Amino acid sequence: MAPLLLLFLLPVLLLLAAADAFPASCLNATCGGHAIHYPFWLNDSTSDCGYPGLGLVCENNDTLILPVKLHRYRVGHIDYQKHTLVVSDADVVESEIDYGCPRLHVNLTIDYASSWLQLTQSDSNVTFLYGCNKNLSSSSSAVELRGCPESFAGKMSFVLLDGVATGTEAYEYECEAVVVAPVLEEHKKELENASSFGGPGGVVWAGFQLEYSAHSPQCDRCERSGGWCGYRHNQTNGGDMMFTCFCNSGPTSHRCGTYCYSSHALLSSGSLLCF
Ligand SMILES: *[C@@H]1O[C@H](CO)[C@@H](O)[C@H](O)[C@H]1NC(C)=O
Ligand SMILES: *[C@@H]1O[C@H](CO)[C@@H](O)[C@H](O)[C@H]1NC(C)=O
Ligand SMILES: *[C@@H]1O[C@H](CO)[C@@H](O)[C@H](O)[C@H]1NC(C)=O
Ligand SMILES: *[C@@H]1O[C@H](CO)[C@@H](O)[C@H](O)[C@H]1NC(C)=O
Ligand SMILES: *[C@@H]1O[C@H](CO)[C@@H](O)[C@H](O)[C@H]1NC(C)=O
Ligand SMILES: *[C@@H]1O[C@H](CO)[C@@H](O)[C@H](O)[C@H]1NC(C)=O
Ligand SMILES: *[C@@H]1O[C@H](CO)[C@@H](O)[C@H](O)[C@H]1NC(C)=O
Ligand SMILES: *[C@@H]1O[C@H](CO)[C@@H](O)[C@H](O)[C@H]1NC(C)=O
């Protein structure tokens, strides 16, 4: 049993050993109290390793921001084991969360087919309708927002709890703006009782979950070999992203040196297993 166990542990040990000796710039970034680890990287660092979509900006030396299509999302907890992070729209500032009317300006737009980031099962969408002439409260899932900005004076604003906006709402209810926002499903329930959890502002502040993944067979292979994926713009190649696999022994274009071990214990044939 013991040799068998070792066989399973060996790759893990090798990976850990390999992860020890990478360029210091990959390993070491902080923003205020947050430590930033691979595959995230600090946008202003010289680091070449990390996933392209996971470059973080450190604002005021303490707030971590994830830019998505030029919009800013505040980064909360990153779970490096589960490969998830919680983010919230940075348009909603902390001083506003007591108010019942979080003012969002953009829909989250991730091109899921070509992204290192995905929404998760923990998320659910709500739709904010600002500055409407018609009262939606007869529609069962609409909750009226209180304390919206002066600019919506004399009008009504709502949050719809089920479904994504179809794009016809603004017209149908005569609203000035419609924004769809992912929120954590567990917090969405709180919106039914507008008073709890800091109201809609608190739910938006609490954010939603994103999952990150290696996204490409190329990066997957590199990580399996104990390396870290990096992408660099290649100026001589029209600025295209060039893949690099950072290994113990230095950067390579594919994967780190093949690890092999004898499988005597398992097969008694003396064959060599490589991965
Ligand atoms: C990060 O940098 C500090 C100071 O430059 C150094 O003491 C520390 O060992 C580094 N940590 C890692 C993980 O490289
Ligand atoms: C940023 O924060 C770190 C520690 O959190 C501190 O040592 C450093 O002086 C700060 N830098 C600036 C420019 O405030
Ligand atoms: C760093 O973030 C800024 C926005 O804050 C963005 O304009 C710039 O392109 C980013 N740099 C990289 C290398 O992602
Ligand atoms: C929320 O909306 C996004 C598109 O904006 C969609 O990809 C996602 O599947 C929706 N999530 C749910 C739970 O409906
Ligand atoms: C909208 O309708 C609901 C239910 O009919 C009512 O309680 C609420 O006061 C109305 N809001 C406004 C601004 O008229
Ligand atoms: C958000 O998406 C909806 C459709 O789902 C669209 O009607 C609305 O105009 C968009 N809002 C913004 C601010 O782009
Ligand atoms: C909302 O509040 C009512 C009354 O306080 C309570 O019965 C209900 O369970 C609450 N719903 C949620 C989703 O918290
Ligand atoms: C940049 O692209 C050119 C042409 O494809 C290639 O020959 C060169 O090796 C690349 N440079 C790097 C640093 O990858």
Give the nearest ligand 7 atom to 192 CA: 13
124 in a structural domain: yes
Query: Residues 220-244, buried b or exposed e (16+ Cβ, 10 A)?
Result: ebbbebbbbbbbeeeeeeeeeeeeb
Q: Are residues 105 and 31 in the same domain?
A: no
**What local confidence, expressed as pLDDT, does residue 213 receive?**
93
86 in a structural domain: no
**What local confidence, expressed as pLDDT, does residue 138 receive?**
74
Q: Are residues 144 and 166 in the same domain?
A: yes
**What local confidence, expressed as pLDDT, does residue 6 receive?**
45
**Dist. CA 52 → ligand 8 center (Å):** 18
Q: Are residues 108 and 194 in the same domain?
A: yes
Residue with tokens 């909603």: 92
Q: Are residues 120 and 180 in the same domain?
A: yes
Ligand nearest to the CA of 34: 2
Q: Are residues 189 and 131 in the same domain?
A: yes
Ligand nearest to the CA of 129: 6
**Dist. CA 43 → ligand 3 center (Å):** 6
Q: Are residues 163 and 198 in the same domain?
A: yes
Residue with tokens 């992408």: 231
Q: Are residues 201 and 227 in the same domain?
A: no
CA atoms of 148 and 155, how far apart (whole Å): 9
Rounded to the nearest 10°, the torsion over CA 172, 177, 181, 186 is -70
pTM: 0.80
28 in contact with ligand 1, CB cutoff 6 A: yes
84 in a structural domain: no
Q: Are residues 188 and 128 in the same domain?
A: yes
Residue 35 belongs to what domain range? Answer: 24-68+216-248+255-275
62 in a structural domain: yes
102 in a structural domain: yes
Q: Are residues 56 and 111 in the same domain?
A: no
8 in a structural domain: no
How many structural domains is the chain composed of? 2
Give the nearest ligand 3 atom to 70 CA: 4
**What local confidence, expressed as pLDDT, does residue 47 receive?**
62
264 in a structural domain: yes
Q: Are residues 151 and 120 in the same domain?
A: yes
> Other CB atoms closer than 10 Å to residue 275's CB: what's the count?
11
Q: Are residues 47 and 145 in the same domain?
A: no
Per-residue pLDDT of the chain (275 residues; tens, 9 = 90+): 455 544 444 444 444 444 444 565 566 688 888 889 999 988 876 667 888 889 899 999 889 999 998 899 999 999 999 999 999 999 887 776 667 889 999 999 888 777 899 999 999 999 999 999 988 887 667 888 888 887 888 899 999 887 666 777 778 889 999 999 999 999 888 887 655 556 788 889 999 999 999 988 999 999 999 999 988 777 777 767 788 898 888 888 888 986 545 444 444 444 545 44
240 in contact with ligand 7, CB cutoff 6 A: no
